Structure 1
């Protein structure tokens, strides 16, 4: 296997990939509008950063089409997917311009918000930090909501959901 630099993957990279695959992550679709056209991509790396003031951070691969549309001041939506949205996650993980076809959405707080989601956070980007093969995007929260639905999760390359004890 090769790394993103084109060099052979090291044993540390393989071990790290295996370790991260063993960590359960929520699945989200990050969205934005450019000239009234919605764009989005699936992410599993995001987290709350601060409560005072409310801030959130997520990471995008440097080759992400969505990243080319974002900058300081851009408004994005983080749509945390509900458990039954595995096909939505797969659609937004792929390439192409038709990701929003047959997906219910509306503009909320200036960004595309997917219908029937588990949770929603809208933010205005404040910082972009280069970090390895990704860019860390940090934003100020401008809106949020949640539903009682179960979340879609990703673990060991499979979709699932959380179940309380």
Structure 2
């Protein structure tokens, strides 16, 4: 799967007054009607335990300038937000400067191997017009768009 470029997101949740989060690269749109997404979390993750309890999570799709944030949230530990600018939005942590942000209510949790898929109903969203952070072959990058030429070269 390393040959497949994926978006990089930080999934967040609140534990009382304390924010929690983890980096994921397994995140995708599930449905337009109703608007839903899927994130994949390690079955043993502390964040998943919080999501099970609170039944809510945020998805912060990182910009191409936020690879260090992705690395911080990929590590174990409880103080990941110490040097990260964030706001509370829809009662969930929103990382400043992210490309896209979603607040979700858990629709369903589905076990899949050593991970759990969190299916989320989107209840709030926002975005910035910035290039996204991607992960491909164990390296961070971004998406570069190009114009397709027609068959006649025009």
User: Could you state the TM-score of these two structures normalised by the residue count of structure 2?
Assistant: 0.92
CA RMSD of aligned residues (A): 1.0
Residue segments in structure 2 that go unaligned for 5+ positions in a row: 147-154
Correspondence 1:3-42 to 2 at 5 A:
20-42=1-23
Aligned residue for 2:52, secondary structure, equals coil
Residue segments in structure 1 that go unaligned for 5+ positions in a row: 1-19
Report the equivalent of 1:84.
Answer: 65
Report the equivalent of 2:34.
Answer: 53
Question: Contact 1:75 / 1:110 at 8 angstroms: preserved in 2?
Answer: no
Question: Contact 1:73 / 1:126 at 8 angstroms: preserved in 2?
Answer: no
Q: Aligned-pair distance for 1:79?
A: 0.1
The 4+ residue runs of structure 1 with deviation greater than 2 A are none
Q: Aligned-pair distance for 1:82?
A: 0.5
Aligned residue for 1:50, secondary structure, equals strand
- 1:147 equivalent in alignment to 2:95: no
Report the equivalent of 1:117.
Answer: 98
Aligned pair count reads 146
Q: 1:3-32, CA deviations, whole angstroms, 9 ceiling, x for partnerless residues?
A: xxxxxxxxxxxxxxxxx0000000000000
Q: 1:98-142, CA deviations, whole angstroms, 9 ceiling, x for partnerless residues?
A: 100111101111210000111111100111111111001111100
Separation in 1, partners of 2:95, 2:56: 15
Cα gap change, 1:46 to 1:137, in 2 (>3 Å) = same
Separation in 1, partners of 2:74, 2:83: 16
